[in-house]
Structure 1
Amino acid sequence: MRRLLSIIVSLVTAISFAQQPVELPLWPDGAPNSSGLTGEEQETRPHFVTNVTHPTLTVYHPEKPNGMAIIMCPGGGYRGLGMDGEGYDMAPWFCGQGITYIVLKYRMPNGHWEVPVSDAEQAIRMVRQHAKEWNVNPYKVGLMGASAGGHLTATLATHYNSETRPDFQILLYPVVTMMQVTRGNTRTALLGKNPTMEQIQKFSAELQVTPDTPQAFIALTSDDPSVAPYHGVNYYLALQKNKVPATLHV
């Protein structure tokens, strides 16, 4: 687990929830697309799942909701998901702040970028559809992601429609650009072995920022061996250039 996330998780204390977390299927009637992956998901190392083909939302309700909701997208290079350290483990802290905390287990793209993107879009729709039931303000639904999950978050923040625009974004040591081949072949996992320049630019979030991009909080470490800091820094500079409120912590 990266040092930054270790620090964050170390701040989590034993905070009770209003009720036990609830896991919901993201597409109860079947997903609209497929990555071509088959079979059951596997835990290839402790707390890291691969071959995710059945996406879910796990919802943690705080005792005293303040109306805000955060959907967390774990990282894993678009090849797997670190569901605990970059997902479930942070629930007590967020719920302690009154935030409805939701972990998205999204499908692996296997070269089909539209698969995880559609899962993240559906997650935002579901939270807003259940806003009244979950004591959530539909205009305070944010997306959060770590590593490749940060890339998914930035993608939703720069490519959206009125239904799926996150109200804010939180990026932890995010992958942002696809202009270089990233460590662990994240780009290949998302776009395939031979992406076009149009695809590479489309999924380089620092090139897609506009003045309408949601406000952002970005945190990273300068010595991260897995995701170079220029990813988050360049995204922050693009946000600043477009006068989008943003905070960067290094």
Structure 2
Amino acid sequence: MVLGRRELMAASLALPFAGAAAGEVWTRPAGLVPDASIPLWPGGHIKPPPGLSEEIVQRSDDPDASDRMLQHITRPRLDIFRPDKPNGAAVILAPGGGYRYVVIDKEGYELARWLKARGVTVYVLFYRLPGDGWTNGSDVPLADAQRAMRIVRRRAALDGIDPARVAFGGFSAGGQVATSLLTRFDAQVYAPLDGADTLSARPDALAAIYPVVSMDPAIAHAVSREKLIGAHPDAAREALYSPERNTRADMPPLWLLHAEDDSVVKIDNSLRLQAATRRVGVSCEAHYFAEGEHGFGLLKTAGLPVAIWPELLWGWLKARQIVRS
């Protein structure tokens, strides 16, 4: 179902609080909702395509397991989860959705709550979708990811984080956003706007969880591929948007998670990226599980060995010095 205005506001994704200045942070009640939300772009900088209107759709009938998605995103933003005692670490999360929508709970708010409880300041990224008619649509997810990295670093003192300890994580199509940032963090996909854009968009560490990566039709997630680069891309376009073909020695360390029985996004996406990362001499830690299928997040791992994955990620964040306490 599509939620109305009242439900939209209660779901923590409505317009900024009345009376707040443009770009000002607005606060929310505690719980499985953000503590604040900030826009990525100054007011009026981006103009949504005609007729585009955001909608939240609830995909679950279980009141204890909300599974919402946000589609037709017009206001790319960061929803912030602040711990009571920040440990200086920050993680930006890009949920998946096949470039058709962005998942809210399963790959966003749930992991944000888990990390927040451990002292990490978490930013859930709601990025624009390439199939929604934006100018240069193939680059808008990466532009939003770059801008998110820069804004988080600019806000470091305000949010109590270390700007040199900012990790980025992505799930499924959000993993394609993440791995594009991994290899193209300094690509000129938008014109600089303000002081934030003088800062680096390179993450200090990056995690990709059952990620869409390659645009090679032999292994690509077909829906994500068509949304991102069209139905009939030429070879150069296919290569540009395939992160495993653009690895570089100065990209951040990588953490990968995938289930071997994933029938939606083939594990070959992670395997190819792992091999390419090793070829350029960058650290890559990968965890592959026999079972888990696709889109398990935190909510669909009960009774499976893959349920341990958040602790494995936590250990890696500590080993990379993103988390120090």
**TM-score (normalizing by structure 1):** 0.87
Task: Please state whether the residue corresponding to 2:281 is helix, strand or coil.
Answer: coil
Report if aligned partners of 2:34, 2:79 keep a CA contact under 8 Å in 1: no
Q: Which moved more, 1:173-182 or 1:213-222?
A: 173-182
Deviation at 1:243, TM superposition (A): 1.4
Structure with the greater alpha carbon radius of gyration: 2
| Cα RMSD for the two superposed structures | 2.0
Structure 1: which 5+ runs fail to align?
A: 1-15
CA gap of 1:207–1:20, structure 2 versus 1, over 3 A, is closer
Partner of residue 39, structure 1: 52
* Residue 58 (structure 2) pairs with residue 21 (structure 1): no
Deviation at 1:49, TM superposition (A): 1.9
Deviation at 1:184, TM superposition (A): 4.6
* Residue 80 (structure 2) pairs with residue 59 (structure 1): yes
Q: Distance in 1 between matches of 2:217 and 2:44?
A: 34
Q: Distance in 2 between matches of 1:20 and 1:81?
A: 16
Partner of residue 204, structure 2: 167
Aligned match for 2:106, one of 67, 85, 93: 85
Report if aligned partners of 2:91, 2:120 keep a CA contact under 8 Å in 1: yes
Report if aligned partners of 2:212, 2:221 keep a CA contact under 8 Å in 1: no
* Amino acid paired to 1:174: P
| CA deviation vs aligned residue, 1:108-136 (integer Å, no higher than 9, x gap) | 11171111111111111110010011111
**Looking at both structures, which has the greater relative contact order when contacts are Cα pairs under 8 Å and sequence separation is at least 6?**
1
Task: Please state whether the residue corresponding to 2:261 is helix, strand or coil.
Answer: coil
Aligned residues: 233
Q: Distance in 1 between matches of 2:126 and 2:169?
A: 13
Partner of residue 150, structure 1: 175
Structure 2: which 5+ runs fail to align?
A: 1-29, 60-67, 187-198, 289-325
CA gap of 1:85–1:107, structure 2 versus 1, over 3 A, is same
| CA deviation vs aligned residue, 1:59-114 (integer Å, no higher than 9, x gap) | 11112212111100010111111111010111221112221111001111117111
Q: Distance in 2 between matches of 1:126 and 1:156?
A: 15
Q: Distance in 2 between matches of 1:76 and 1:68?
A: 26
